[in-house]
Structure 1
Amino acid sequence: MGSFNASLGKGFILVGFSDWPQLELILFIYVLIFYSLTLFGNTTIIALSQLDIRLHTPMYFFLSHLSFLDLCYTTSTVPQLLINIAAQDHTITYGRCVAQLFSVLALGSTESMLLVVMAFDRYAAVCRPLHYTTIMHPLLCQALAISSWVAGLVNSLIQTGLMMAMPLCRYRLNHFFCEMPVFLKLACKDTAGTEAKMFVARAIILVFPATLILGSYAHIARAVLKVKSTSGRRKAFGTCGSHLLVVSMFYGSTIYTYLQPNDSYSENEGKFVALFYTIVTPMLNPLIYTLRNKDVKGALWKVLGRGTDSR
């Protein structure tokens, strides 16, 4: 327990990408550019969803929540990485590390639940179009969004609590932020029991939502194939396809990181996978959802004063 108290006082050393010093400058430039694009893209989505009445729909309500999540998620990790590379200061206090661990888990878990809600919204729009406005009532949309946040916070509280109860023997984290799989490698003793509890919590927040999403899209695909209009079918597949792309990127990278046994987890591989879901995915989400979207383009031109629609 003495080692744990020592680490509590010292804090931790985040190794980051210092093992590859030749990569650090290039990485700093790319991360800074991607982070700037993430801030711009997601802030634009939130602003347009508020400013244009045509975007006051359930889909854009949930998309605004996703954009806000991505802003928070990337901001909880990227500034720390940029500081570590630029200042060569790789230390982080125990309190900040635990706060980062909690926030990353909470935001990631919330996004996992929100993607299910967005899949349900698309299911209602495609499979129940005549009843869509009745089903996706504003009160239900708010309740679903709040439930996603609450579920994410509860899951993070459970996992962070279990992690903090473990005695830690080392304070060198081979990562660029405080992430659960790397944290587990600092434990002094056998963590099989705690790992099993955490695995169950992670499986519930990742596997169960992913299964629900796949089920909803199976129904959507069946309904779309029955549509006789080629343009209607293309529009439905376009909207749902963008959501599926986001889903596959998010769940693919997080399941790889969080649902493999701790013994087989590669810290070096984990760092590069983490770069993908903390930096690349949040930057791509606004583009994937809106690049070919006439409503968003129309709202943007309207805000910029170039007309009232995109035609």
Structure 2
Amino acid sequence: MAEENSTTRVKHFVFVSFTNKPVLKITLFFVFLISYIATLVGNIGMIALIRASPQLHTPMYFFLSNLSFIDSLFSSVVACKSLANLLEDKKSISFTGCAVQMYLVIGLASAECFLLAAMAYDRYVAICKPLLYLVLMSPRFCILLMAGSYLLGFLHSLLHTIFTFRLPFCQSEINQVYCDVTALLSLSCSDTHLNELLIFYVAGPVEATTILSVFLSYMYILANIVRISSVSGRVKAFSTCTSHLTAVTIFHGAILILHFRPKSSNGSPIQDVSDKILAIFYTMMIPLLNPLIYSLRNKEVKDALVVIQRNIWNKIIKQ
């Protein structure tokens, strides 16, 4: 009966603020706002560039456009509420709103894990089996890989969301910038052992499997590159992979540090702040970095951008 009463008391959650200083709040608001706008411009711009450039209508850029789509949504789910909270005195979110936010955050992050693994397989086929590339990476197969990434990601998220929000909550203050599963479990007044097992035996294998897929793909790629006789050929082959490998390292590194590193039972103020900074980097900064990584380190993207700019300039001159 006590658990039922505690459950009905928590109708909304409250985010613990970074700071109570108005000047710092306004500063953080504009920093987050500029980062969020840059994220949307970069990712939506990448999608538009790929759609407008026939030379980018390949499996690699099909996956990249979907990565930009996921990153746009992923950043929006956290940034919009975080920006509003910086301007509000009461930084609350409804019980249902928190469940939806957590479902979307885990679902999109999991889908990105599977998508990055699919992109690694695409690079493996392109470099190790170039003559079969168009056969193995057919449009139908690419769509199936993409759909599978979304399906597995959101099924994984649904499992954690259901088992988290069936718990009774005795506290309502979330010491994080979004509705994070581990932060919510610490607010429950019941046994969370089953939820912790789900994180270990479900989320853990999802992370391990996708990292292993990327690792194996690049082991085969590296072995194949070493056998290329010309230096220019080796450089060209590896340069097509560096952008993806950089994005994978940053994304999975942030997940491992944020969710799988050992934490003390009594969170110190320094640890709480560091967790929030990591969460901001994971949900807001990585989606901003991805389009920069793929545009600055990718000759095909830069060439396509030059062509688009030239075509726009020619149209302006003709008018």
Per the shorter chain, which TM-score range? over 0.9
Query: Where does residue 157 of structure 1 map in the other structure?
Result: 158
Q: Secondary structure at the match of 1:76?
A: helix
CA distance in 1, matches of 2:120, 2:285: 22
Matches of 1:239 and 1:298, distance apart in 2: 14
Distance in structure 2 (CA, Å) of the matches to 1:133 and 1:67:
23
Aligned-residue offset at 1:20: 6.9
Change in CA separation of 1:59 and 1:22 when aligned onto 2, cut-off 3 Å: same
Tell me which residue corresponds to 1:120.
121
The superposition leaves residues 39-87 of structure 1 with CA deviations (integer Å, 9 ceiling, x where unpaired) of 0110011111111111100000000010000000000000111111123
Alpha-carbon distance in structure 1 between the residues aligned to 2:33 and 2:312: 33
Verify: 1:292 aligned to 2:293, yes or no.
no
Aligned twin of 2:58: 57
Q: Which moved more, 1:278-287 or 1:221-230?
A: 221-230
Distance 1:188 1:262, change over 3 A: farther
1:207-241 deviation digits (Å, cap 9, x = unpaired): 11111111111111111111122222112222212
How far the C-alpha of 1:296 sits from its partner, in A, is 1.8
Task: Say if 2:294 and 2:301, in contact at 8 Å, map to a contact too.
Answer: no
TM-score of the two chains, using structure 2 as the length reference = 0.91
Give the secondary structure class of the aligned counterpart of 2:228: coil
Does the 8 Å contact 1:182/1:267 carry over to 2? no
Higher mean Cα deviation, 161-170 or 257-266? 257-266
For normalisation by structure 1, the TM-score amounts to 0.93
Measured after TM superposition, the shift of residue 287 of structure 1 is 1.1
Question: In the alignment, does 2:273 pair up with 1:272?
Answer: no
The 5 A counterparts of 1:2-151 are 2-7=5-10, 9=11, 11-18=12-19, 23-151=24-152
Rate the CA distance shift 1:16–1:217 in 2: closer, same or farther, 3 A.
farther
Q: Say if 1:35 and 1:74, in contact at 8 Å, map to a contact too.
A: yes
Identity of paired residues, percent? 37
Deviations 1:179-234 (A, max 9, x none): 11111110102312321123211112211111111111111111111112222211
CA distance in 2, matches of 1:20, 1:76: 25
Q: Secondary structure at the match of 1:77?
A: helix
Aligned residue for 1:4, secondary structure, equals helix
Offset at residue 16 of structure 1 (A) = 3.4
State the partner residue of 2:316. none
Q: Count the aligned residue pairs.
A: 306
Unaligned runs of at least 5 residues, structure 1? none
CA shift, 1:306, in A, is 4.2
Shift of 1:292: 3.5
Instruction: In structure 2, give the amino acid aligned to 1:281.
Output: I
User: Once the two structures are superposed, what CA deviation does each residue of 1:130-156 show, in whole Å capped at 9, x if it has no partner?
Assistant: 111111111000000000000001000
Structure 1 280/81 Cα, relative in aligned 2: closer, same or farther at 3 Å?
Answer: same
- One-letter identity of the residue aligned with 1:183: L
Aligned partners of 1:113 and 1:148 also within 8 Å: yes
Partner AA of 1:289 in structure 2: Y
Measure, in 2, the Cα distance between the counterparts of 1:14 and 1:60.
Answer: 38
State how far apart, in whole Å, the 2-side matches of 1:53 and 1:129 are.
20
Are 2:307 and 1:302 aligned? yes
Provide the C-alpha distance between the structure 2 equivalents of 1:231 and 1:307, rounded to a whole number of angstroms: 33
Distance 2:23 2:239 in 1: 41
How far apart, CA to CA, are the structure 2 residues paired with 1:245 and 1:298? Answer: 21
Counterpart CA distance in 2 for 1:3 and 1:21 is 33
Cα distance in structure 1, aligned partners of 2:245 and 2:155:
26
5+ unaligned residues in a row in structure 2: which ranges?
314-319
Mapped contact 1:4–1:167 kept (Cα < 8 A): yes
SS of equivalent to 1:126: helix
Q: Deviation at 1:269? A: 2.0
Say whether residues 1:207 and 2:208 are aligned partners.
yes
Change (3 A) 1:262 1:199: farther
Counterparts of 1:20 and 1:243, CA distance in 2: 40
Superposition CA RMSD, Å: 1.8
Alignment check: 8 A CA contact 1:49 1:60 kept: yes
| Secondary structure in 2 matching 1:290 | helix
Q: Which moved more, 1:99-108 or 1:180-189?
A: 180-189
